[in-house]
Structure 1
Amino acid sequence: MTDDIRFEIAHLARVELHTPDPDGTLWFFQELLGMYETGREGRSVYLRGYEDPYVWSLKVTEGPVPRLGHAALRTSSPEALSRRVEAIRRAGLPGRWTDGDLGYGPAYEFTGPDGHEFRLLWEAEKYRAPAELESKILTRPSKRPLRGIPVKRLDHLNLMAAEVTPTKVFLEQRLGLRTRERVVDGETEIGAWLSSNLLGHELAIMRDNLGAHGRLHHVAFYYGCQQHNLDAAEMFRERDVTIEAGPDRHGITQGAFLYVFEPGGNRIELFGDAGILELEPDWETRTWSMSDIDTGMAIGGTKLPWESYFTYGTPPAALVPSA
């Protein structure tokens, strides 16, 4: 990676989740996490957190199995978009231009090295709240909702891959992301956390212990306050939402976490605060070994359920190719 591409990706702008239980999934995101609905089209509903900058950050689409539909990254300029598309083409990955979606302009659609679907885009409509939702806080696009324990915004995406390194190298060399932290087991990378900005990570890749390709580990939404994770855990228990792990804090990224499964089957993380912000322009990648993995996963002592955490992803492994 060279310095001239390190800031050409601005941030993760949006994700699409497929769900076989659209009513349950929408109940989860709207009633429990307080996300606003901003549109509907066909089998899809568009949602945003109250501090998301664009018209939507989450697209919920009805489908036969839970899975990631796509993830879209916004570039830092139209010129950066053209350069990154050319870099993807030089890598030999299949791709094509697609028409814009609600509130977004044309996007370049491509498949990553492990089979995940991505979009790159520049044109994005800034959200403008109707009068009844305008916030008195000028940097807040809309009022804080009065339902559930509302999330502020989309935070990050964690992907599962049969092999971590090819996807990590692609994100570094073709999109300019930087690897902040990684986990190795001997000579094998089993996890990598990457960012294009000051956040500790916006994209992560974890080894799929079932050897499947192109699966989703989780989508994360940001609270900004660790107490909200504790309050959300009570809310989920009362309403029979399955909690996988937490609340606790990761050593990797230092972010507060709570993992749950939305009714459609996708794993969702509630990120209690931003974790570490990496202000150094010459940040050096931190490498964790398996001997440190308990601290890396949970500073507070929570034992993540290994039987599910490193094997459960969506769609089910039986439905996708294996290595």
Structure 2
Amino acid sequence: MGIMRMGYAHVRVTDLAEAKHHYASTMGLYETLDEGNRVYYKGWDEWDHHSVVLEEGGVGLVKFGFKVDKPEDIDEIEQKAATFGLTVERMSAGENPEVSDGIRFTTPSEHVFEVYHSQTVIGTEVGTHNPESFPRHLVGVGVPGLDHALILAEDVGTMQQMLTDVFGFYATERVQTTLDDDAHLIATWMTSNNQIHQLAVLEGPQGRLHHFAFKLGDWSDVGRAADLMSMDDVPIDIGPTRHGITRGQTVYFFDPSGNRNEVFAGGYLAYPDRPVSVWTPEAIGKGVFYHARELNERFMTVST
């Protein structure tokens, strides 16, 4: 089957105490493990042990973990990665707490990706036997789980090809210089399932993280999240607003270390045979911020 979904985002923070307050009290994630300089979290509707790892010391991305369906998928992806020209190393079970064995490699964009097949299941906060719609005592925004991320790369086309050849991803939307098939690629939104995107890649400095996002249910959840951010003095980048690209509803904001987060709702279902939506530079403002129809400077210049 290949990649099922993005399983975890492991990021650096400058002050772990401040970060814990943001991700636990404002975002409402549940702490599952504290290793001193690393803390592990999950959302209320996630069943695996963790989806977010915070590590004290700096800012930006340490690595992403992607989950496959079964152990033999690891071997297939390892072979495809080697064929693509990537240097792949094996990781042992437990090297990441509660995560199976798998592989690790550095992408052409200089990001570290890990691929694994299982993680300790601790269950959702509502269980699986006659479950309620949501936990009665949500904290803060109460995000259900991790949704997607956007990274920067000098060569978006090479990253798109890698994600296609190695992970079996397909593009749902793109920004390119013209409508021609050989046009220069500025950004791409990619997935392996019906989620509108699991990973997006935007042209920019190597190895940088633009944002990672949490899923929400609908417009009212997005608006409530923005209200709570104001209550907690969370710096908001932009929103609530809508994307033209993906049609999702959004608020962008920053954690105390300056890593950009997003809450994201809506969007349409993706299918491999759906024609790719193509945006050209004169419409990119409307594509990213559908209502304002222009990009703010922070969105294009701030990354970690």
**TM tier, smaller:** over 0.9
Which of residues 3, 11, 14 in structure 2 aligns to 1:9?
3
Structure 2 distance, partners of 1:11, 1:141, is 23
Which aligned pairs between 1:174-213 and structure 2 lie closer than 5 A? 174-186=166-178, 187-208=183-204, 212-213=205-206
CA RMSD, Structure 1 to Structure 2 (Å): 1.9
2:55 partner amino acid:
T
- Matched-pair contact (CA < 8 Å) for 1:36–1:50: yes
1:124–1:260 CA distance, 2 compared to 1 (3 A): same
Which whole-Å deviations, capped at 9, do the CAs of 1:135-172 have from their partners, x for residues lacking one?
A: 47646798354321210110001101112111111000
Which of residues 282, 286, 301 in structure 2 aligns to 1:291?
282
Which of residues 143, 163, 176 in structure 2 aligns to 1:151?
143
Which whole-Å deviations, capped at 9, do the CAs of 1:182-241 have from their partners, x for residues lacking one?
A: 001243211100001001100000111xxx211000000011122122122122223221
2:21 partner amino acid:
W
1:70–1:145 CA distance, 2 compared to 1 (3 A): farther
1:103–1:113 CA distance, 2 compared to 1 (3 A): same
1:310 partner amino acid:
M
Structure 2 distance, partners of 1:41, 1:217, is 26
1:298–1:141 CA distance, 2 compared to 1 (3 A): same
Which of residues 226, 242, 257 in structure 1 aligns to 2:235?
242
1:175–1:146 CA distance, 2 compared to 1 (3 A): closer
CA apart distance, 1:62: 0.5
1:240–1:14 CA distance, 2 compared to 1 (3 A): same
Structure 2 distance, partners of 1:141, 1:44, is 31
CA apart distance, 1:24: 1.2
Q: Which runs of 5+ in 2 are unaligned?
A: none
Q: Which runs of 5+ in 1 are unaligned?
A: 1-6, 315-323
- Which shifted more, 134-143 or 155-164? 134-143
Structure 2 distance, partners of 1:68, 1:288, is 28
- Matched-pair contact (CA < 8 Å) for 1:181–1:286: yes
SS at match of 2:301: coil
TM-score (normalised: structure 2): 0.92
CA apart distance, 1:285: 1.5
Which aligned pairs between 1:124-273 and structure 2 lie closer than 5 A? 124-128=119-123, 134-135=126-127, 138=130, 143=135, 145-186=137-178, 187-208=183-204, 212-271=205-264, 273=265
- What number of residue pairs does the alignment pair up? 298
1:162–1:140 CA distance, 2 compared to 1 (3 A): farther
TM-score (normalised: structure 1): 0.87
CA apart distance, 1:118: 0.4
1:242 partner amino acid:
P
Structure 2 distance, partners of 1:75, 1:46, is 20
Structure 2 distance, partners of 1:144, 1:244, is 30
- Matched-pair contact (CA < 8 Å) for 2:66–2:115: yes
- Matched-pair contact (CA < 8 Å) for 1:53–1:141: no
1:308 corresponds to 2:301: no
Which of residues 14, 36, 61 in structure 2 aligns to 1:20?
14
Residue in structure 2 matched with residue 31 of structure 1 by the alignment:
25
The percent identity for this pair of structures is: 29
1:45 corresponds to 2:39: yes
Structure 2 distance, partners of 1:136, 1:83, is 32
Structure 1 distance, partners of 2:253, 2:80, is 36
